[in-house]
Copies of this chain bind each other. A is one copy, B any other.
Amino acid sequence: MIKVSVIYPSSPSVHFDHDYYRTRHLPLIKSSMGAGLKYYAIDKGLSGGTADTPATYVAACHLMCDSMEAYQSSFGPHAGEIRGDIRNFTDVTPIVQISEVVVENSTKG
C-alpha cells in the first residue's frame, strides 16, 4: 500500500480553513478518486515536539491507495479540478510525498 501525503507548511501569517478542508476538499478528492482511494486521513497541526513550539505544518491529508498505478489512474484525470480547489481554503502551496506504508497500524501486526 502507498500513502500520498499532501502537507501544508505553516507560517505566522498562514491562512487555512480547516472546516472547508474537512467538509469540502477531502470529500471532493474521495468522490473524484472513487475506488482508487482506499481511505483518507486528516491532520491539523497543533505544535512542534513540545506544546510551546510552533507546528511546522498547519495541516495534512494522507490518501491511502493500493499502488502508485491505482493512485495515478484515479487521481490523474481529476488533478486539475482538485488542485484548483486549494485556493478556496488556503494560500499555501503543499508538499506532496508518496511513501510506502511499511507499517499501517502496529496493533494489526
Q: How many monomers of this protein are in the complex?
A: 2
CB < 8 Å neighbour of A102 from B3, B18, B30, B106: B18
B48–A106 contact, CB under 8 A? Answer: no
B98–A40 contact, CB under 8 A? Answer: no
Q: What chain B residues lie within 8 Å of A41 (beta carbons)?
A: 101, 103-106
- The answer to whether residues A48 and B103 also contact, given A3-B43, A43-B3 and a CB cut-off of 8 A, is no
Tell me the smallest distance from the CB of A43 to a CB of chain B, in Å: 4
A residues 35-74 near B (Cβ < 8 Å) are 38-49, 51, 55-57, 60, 68
Q: Measuring CB to CB, which residues of chain A are less than 8 angstroms from any residue of chain B?
A: 2-5, 18, 22, 26, 30, 38-49, 51, 55-57, 60, 68, 95-108
